[in-house]
Amino acid sequence: MNRVLGDVAVVQGLASGMVSDLIKQVTTAIVMVFILIKMDWIALLGLMFFFPCVFLPVRYFSKMIRRQGHRAQGGQDMLLQRLKEVLSNMRVVKAFAREDYESTRFRGLSHGLYSLGMKVVRIQGLSSPVMETVGGLLLACLALYGTIRIKSGAMTGGEFLAFLLVIYALYDPIRSLTKMYADLQMSTVALERVFRLLDSKPTLVGPANPTPMPEHPKLLQLENIKFSYGKDEVLKGLDLTVRKGETVALVGGSGGGKTTLVNLVPRFFDPNEGRITIDGIDIREFDPRELRKRIGIVTQETLLFMDTIHDNIAYGLTASRAQVEAAARKAYAHDFIMAMPKGYNSPMAETGSTLSGGQRQRIAIARALLQDPPILILDEATSSLDTESERLVQQALENLMRNRTSIVIAHRLSTIQFADEIIVLQNGELVERGTHFGLLEDNKVYKKLYDLQSFV
C-alpha cells in the first residue's frame, strides 16, 4: 500500500514540479554559457574548475540521502504494516489488554522513522553551507581576477560588471540544478520501489496457446502428486479421482496436507511431481483464469467485501436481483437477509460485524452457487460453526454440491458420511480409502477418528 500510495505520490511531486523548472534552468544555463564564451572564454575555462567543486560534494550528499531514504521508506512500510495489523486485530489487543504494549511498539517504530528522517534532513542541511562556501570562494576568485584585468587595462570596469552579472545568472541555474539532482535522488528511492513492484513477474504463467477448458468437465484426476513448500515433502505421492457429480472427502489430522492438496487444483501452487488432469488434459495447459472460473472454493474463513449483501453474493458478476435471491435461498441465507432493515442492499460495513459465522458462511455459499462452478472445493467450510448453524450450512452445502465434482475437507466426520469416497490422509500419505461404512468395518484409522468424535 505504501508503494502504491506513498511512493507514487513522491514520484508524482517530482514529475509535476521539476520538469518545467528543469527546462527553464537548463535554457538559462546554456544561454549564459554562450554569452560567456563571447565575452571571455579564458575566464569560462577557469570557471570549469569550479564545477567539480560544486558537483562532487552534491553527489556525495545525495548518495547518503539515497541510502537513508531507502531505510526510511522501509521503516515507513513497517510502521504501516503494524498499524494495519493492530487496527484489524483490535479485539485481540483489547481482550489481552495489550494497549500499552502496542503503543510502546508503535512509538519505537515511529521514533526509528523519526531518527532516519532527521538523518536525511541533517545531510540536506549540511549540503547548503558547503554550497555557500563554494559560492563565496568563487566570488573571491572573481574579484581577484577582475582587479588584475582592470589594472592591466584588458577590461573596463563596466565590462567586468557585465561579466559578473552573467556569471551570477549562470550560478543560479547551476545551484538549482544540483539541488534538483539531490531531490531527484530522494525520489529515485521511491521510483525504484515503484518499479520493483511493477517489474515483479507473476509466479504463475499460463501457456502461450491454452487448450480450451471443457465446458462440463467429467473427470478430475490427481496422479502421483508430490509437493513440498520447502525441503520437507508435504504430499508424498497421492492419487485421487473424482467423477462428475461425485464427492470425495479428505479427512485426517491437522497438518496432514489436505489444504495443500486442494490448493493444487486451482494452481495456487504446482506439484513438484505428478500431474492434475481434467478430462485427461493437464491443467497446466489451460488458461489459469479459465480454470479458476470453473472452480468454486468455500473455506473456513469467509471473506466478505465492504459492499452490499447483493454485491457480495454477485461479486463482480452482473447478476439480477432474482438470480442473487435464488442463490441466497438455496444457501439458506434469504431469510436472515430479508430480516435486515435494507435487505439485500444492506451494506457490509454496517452489518458485517453483526453477522454470525454461519450467516457469513451462507453468504459465501450463495456466492459460490451463483458462480455455478462445475468443480467445487470445500475446505473445512463448517468447522468453525456451532451445531445449529452447521445444520443450515450443511444443507446449503448439499444444495451446492448437487451435480458438481466436489472435494470436501471435513473436520466433523458426521458431515461426510454420504461421500462417494473418503480418503484418510496422514502426513501427506494416503493411509485409507473407501466409503464411510466400508471404512468403519475395516476398523482402522477412520474408525478410530470416528469413535473419538462420537464420544464428544
Ligand X SMILES: Nc1ncnc2c1ncn2[C@@H]1O[C@H](COP(=O)(O)OP(=O)(O)O)[C@@H](O)[C@H]1O
Q: Which residue has the cell 531507502?
A: 70
Contact call for residues 373 and 214 (beta carbons, < 8 A): no
Minimum separation from the CB atom of position 260 to ligand X (A)? 3
Name the CA radius of gyration of the chain, rounded.
Answer: 35
* 23: helix, strand or coil: helix
User: Which does residue 271 touch among Mg ion, ligand X, none (CB within 5 to 8 A, set by kind)?
Assistant: none
Under the binding rule (CB under 6 A), the answer on residue 257 touching ligand X is yes
Q: Which phi-psi region, left, alpha or beta, contains residue 276 (left: φ > 0; alpha: ψ -120 to 50)? A: beta
Q: Which is nearer to ligand X, 259 or 389 (CB)?
A: 259
Under the binding rule (CB under 6 A), the answer on residue 301 touching ligand X is no
User: Which does residue 200 touch among ligand X, Mg ion, none (CB within 5 to 8 A, set by kind)?
Assistant: none
The sign of the torsion formed by the CA atoms of 328, 331, 335, 340 equals negative
Residue 178's nearest CA partner among 170, 373, 307 is 170
Under the binding rule (CB under 6 A), the answer on residue 258 touching ligand X is yes
User: Which does residue 455 touch among ligand X, Mg ion, none (CB within 5 to 8 A, set by kind)?
Assistant: none
Q: Which is nearer to Mg ion, 207 or 255 (CB)?
A: 255
Residues binding ligand X: number (CB under 6 A): 9
Q: How many CA atoms lie within 13 A of 144 on its CB side?
A: 7
Task: Give every CB contact of residue 301 below 8 A, 6+ residues apart in sequence.
Answer: 384
SS3 content of the chain, % helix, strand, coil (to 5): 65, 15, 25
User: Which does residue 331 touch among Mg ion, ligand X, none (CB within 5 to 8 A, set by kind)?
Assistant: none
Minimum separation from the CB atom of position 203 to ligand X (A)? 13
Minimum separation from the CB atom of position 411 to ligand X (A)? 9
Contact call for residues 401 and 374 (beta carbons, < 8 A): no
CA–CA dist 367, 316 (Å, integer): 10
Q: Which is nearer to ligand X, 72 or 222 (CB)?
A: 222
Minimum separation from the CB atom of position 410 to Mg ion (A)? 11
Q: Which is nearer to ligand X, 212 or 255 (CB)?
A: 255
Q: Which is nearer to ligand X, 124 or 427 (CB)?
A: 427
Selected binder of ligand X within 73, 127, 178, 259 (CB under 6 A) = 259
Stretch that binds ligand X, among 75-83, 155-163, 248-256, 382-390 (CB under 6 A): 248-256
> Residue 353: phi, psi to the nearest 5?
-80, -10
User: Which does residue 257 touch among Mg ion, ligand X, none (CB within 5 to 8 A, set by kind)?
Assistant: ligand X
Other Cβ atoms within 10 Å of 127 Cβ, number? 20
Q: Which is nearer to ligand X, 13 or 255 (CB)?
A: 255
- Cell numbers given for 227: 509437493
User: Considering only residues 215-234, where is the footprint of ligand X by CB under 6 A?
Assistant: 229, 234
Q: Which is nearer to ligand X, 10 or 265 (CB)?
A: 265
DSSP symbols for 350-392: HHGGGS-HHHHHHHHHHHHHHH--SEEEEESTTTTS-HHHHHH
Under the binding rule (CB under 5 A), the answer on residue 259 touching Mg ion is yes
Residue 131's nearest CA partner among 68, 46, 187, 56 is 56
Under the binding rule (CB under 5 A), the answer on residue 371 touching Mg ion is no
Q: Which is nearer to Mg ion, 62 or 259 (CB)?
A: 259
Contact call for residues 313 and 327 (beta carbons, < 8 A): yes
Q: Which is nearer to ligand X, 200 or 254 (CB)?
A: 254
Stretch that binds ligand X, among 18-26, 64-72, 169-177, 254-262 (CB under 6 A): 254-262
Please give the DSSP secondary-structure letter assigned to residue 97.
T
Q: How many residues does the chain have?
A: 456
Under the binding rule (CB under 6 A), the answer on residue 254 touching ligand X is yes
Other Cβ atoms within 10 Å of 303 Cβ, number? 9
Stretch that binds Mg ion, among 168-176, 185-193, 253-261, 383-391 (CB under 5 A): 253-261
Under the binding rule (CB under 6 A), the answer on residue 256 touching ligand X is yes
Q: Which is nearer to ligand X, 221 or 263 (CB)?
A: 263
Minimum separation from the CB atom of position 274 to ligand X (A)? 16
* Bridge partners for 90 per DSSP: none
Q: Could you tell me the end-to-end alpha-carbon distance of the chain, in angstroms, rounded to an integer?
A: 46
Residues in touch with ligand X (CB under 6 A): 229, 234, 254-260
Residues in touch with Mg ion (CB under 5 A): 259
